[in-house]
């Protein structure tokens, strides 16, 4: 639900109203007096940025020496209110040369009123993009004499962008070589028992793109997700191809994605922004392919000795490899001396984090490595406290591997001029919270 603001006030530190705009008639003009009396004069400004007084909600934020206060009579979306304030301030700064304070507001009354009419309608936020608003609100603000920010260049073809069709991309772009780079980056979160049983596992991923394309291209991305493949086979009236399909959870898209087309065809169609951006985020909770299996064995031999054996096995393909593998094996605080034997990489004791740190620069697939360590502990006279055994932690990065099994089936680029494009696709899996109990 949007913020549904009834009014917005700009106050200085004394509580004087610099400028205000009323969007609804469900609040009285004296609501700002209630804000001054119950919040500013009682010095409770720093306690909570959201207060309720007399059946109205006050959402406020201090920027420089100005308080921006949103008043709502209904149950408003507070997060949306704060986002509106932050983006509105960024818009004002773009007109005022980077400054936003009491002097900037006093010097730009007329411009601020015009902007407030455009960025909020009947209490609902509208377009706050400086690039688009400057296409038809061409009045320049009184710039601060201390501002060194250069003036923004106008963007051509205002009509198309103001309608919201492609407000994230300007026309007239031209490249000698048209290229698209697509990265699928996943983080594996795992909690495994000492016997190798998975207690909790999920994957969070994001699709990152970098586009250098001329004109106004239309891109279509196909993934091996279950719903998309079923919809495609239904539209083509033929059975779906065999192969692994993925069920994506909690999917969020960049604003450039055509959601109407996604809901009807289950394909990701979009006109991309120029340069780098995050196309989508997702989460996988079932069918996760773990890149590593870890089997630890820790034996406490009396009060002063321990034996640690950790076996790490890579489960991904033999032609792949992991980079920057780090295994952190916890040891007791009273560790005095350690002796290591590793089949691959290097290991050392780090007393600042009470861990044996085992580093392997390059870990091939379908192989295993072992660490064996003898640990001598300082003998204490007092009663021995049981060691809680924190989990083993791993860090790694596996190129060209996805723990979810997500794959790009196709990436199509269409542009009216018909130029050729070069598409690059890369997969990367990293460790999120990868923990194994001892």
Tell me phi and psi for residue 93, to 5 degrees: -65, -35
Which residue is it, tokens 């304070």? 101
Distance CA 60, CA 52 (A): 12
For 301-318, the pLDDT digits (tens) are 888 899 999 999 999 999
Q: In this model, does residue 156 exceed pLDDT 50?
A: no
What is the average pLDDT across 8-15?
90
Beta strand pairing call for 368-377 and 66-72: unpaired
Structure pTM? 0.66
More confident call, 146 vs 293 = 293
- Residue 9 — pLDDT band, cuts 50, 70, 90? very high
pLDDT at 407: 92
**Domains, in order of start, for the chain:** 7-134 (3.30.450.60), 179-282+405-426 (2.60.40.1170), 292-380+387-399 (2.60.40.1170)
What is each CA distance from 149 to 90, 92, 103, 104, 143, in whole angstroms?
Answer: 13, 13, 18, 15, 10
Q: Which of 16, 29, 42, 32 is nearest to 102 (CA)?
A: 16
Q: Which of 43, 41, 80, 88 is nearest to 59 (CA)?
A: 80
Highest mean pLDDT among 84-88, 159-163, 376-380: 84-88
- Residue 195 — pLDDT band, cuts 50, 70, 90? confident
Q: Tell me the percentage of the chain whose pLDDT exceeds 70.
A: 87
For 219-273, the pLDDT digits (tens) are 999 998 876 555 555 555 454 454 567 888 889 999 899 988 888 887 899 999 9
Angle, alpha carbons 122-128-134 (nearest 5°): 115
Contact call for residues 250 and 289 (beta carbons, < 8 A)? no
More confident call, 147 vs 60 = 60
Highest mean pLDDT among 59-68, 193-202, 224-233, 317-326: 317-326
With 0-12 / 13-18 / 19 or more C-beta atoms within 10 angstroms meaning exposed / middle / buried, residue 56 is buried
More confident call, 294 vs 144 = 294
pLDDT at 236: 54
340 contact partners, CB below 8 Å, separation of at least 6: 347, 348, 356, 371, 372, 373
Q: Tell me the percentage of the chain whose pLDDT exceeds 90.
A: 49
Q: In this model, does residue 71 exceed pLDDT 80?
A: yes
pLDDT at 133: 84
> Can you read off the two tokens belonging to residue 39?
């919040």
- Provide the Cα torsion 83, 88, 93, 95; round to 10°: 150
């Amino acid at each position: 639900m949007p913020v549904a603001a009834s009014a917005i006030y700009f106050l200085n530190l004394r509580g004087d109203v610099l400028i205000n705009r009323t969007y609804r008639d469900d609040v009285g003009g004296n609501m700002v007096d209630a804000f001054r009396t119950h919040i500013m004069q009682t010095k409770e400004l720093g306690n909570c940025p959201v207060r309720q007084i007399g059946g109205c909600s006050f959402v406020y934020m201090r920027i420089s020496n100005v308080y921006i206060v949103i008043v709502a009579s209904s149950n408003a979306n507070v997060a949306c209110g704060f986002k509106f304030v932050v983006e509105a301030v960024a818009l004002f700064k773009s007109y005022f040369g980077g400054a936003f304070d009491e002097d900037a507001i006093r010097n730009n009354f007329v411009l601020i009123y015009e902007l407030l009419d455009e960025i909020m309608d009947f209490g609902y936020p509208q377009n706050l993009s400086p690039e688009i608003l400057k296409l038809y609100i061409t009045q320049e603000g009184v710039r601060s004499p201390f501002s060194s920010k250069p003036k923004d260049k106008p963007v051509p073809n205002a009509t198309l962008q103001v309608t919201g069709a492609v407000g994230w991309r300007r026309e007239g772009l031209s490249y000698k070589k048209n290229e698209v780079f697509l990265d699928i980056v996943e983080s594996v979160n795992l909690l495994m028992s000492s016997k190798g049983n998975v207690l909790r596992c999920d994957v969070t991923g994001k699709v990152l793109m970098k586009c250098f394309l001329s004109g106004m291209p239309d891109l279509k991305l196909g993934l091996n997700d279950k719903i998309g493949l079923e919809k495609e086979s239904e539209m083509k009236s033929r059975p779906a191809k065999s192969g692994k399909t993925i069920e994506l959870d909690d999917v969020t898209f960049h604003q450039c994605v055509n959601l109407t087309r996604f809901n009807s065809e289950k394909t990701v169609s979009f006109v991309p922004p120029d340069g780098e951006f995050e196309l989508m985020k997702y989460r996988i909770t079932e069918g996760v392919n773990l890149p590593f299996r870890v089997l630890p064995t820790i034996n406490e031999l009396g009060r002063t000795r321990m034996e640690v054996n950790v076996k790490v096995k890579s489960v991904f393909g033999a032609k792949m490899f992991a980079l920057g593998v780090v295994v952190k094996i916890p040891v007791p605080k009273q560790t005095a001396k350690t002796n290591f034997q590793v089949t691959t990489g290097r290991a050392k004791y780090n007393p600042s984090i009470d861990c044996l740190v085992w580093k392997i620069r390059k870990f091939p697939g379908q192989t295993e490595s072992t660490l064996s360590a003898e640990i001598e502990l300082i003998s204490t006279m007092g009663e021995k406290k049981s060691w809680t055994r924190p989990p083993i932690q791993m860090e790694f990065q596996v190129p060209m591997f996805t723990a979810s099994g997500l794959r790009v089936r196709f990436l199509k680029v269409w542009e009216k001029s018909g130029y050729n494009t070069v598409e690059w696709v890369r997969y990367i899996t990293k460790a999120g919270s990868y923990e194994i109990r001892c």
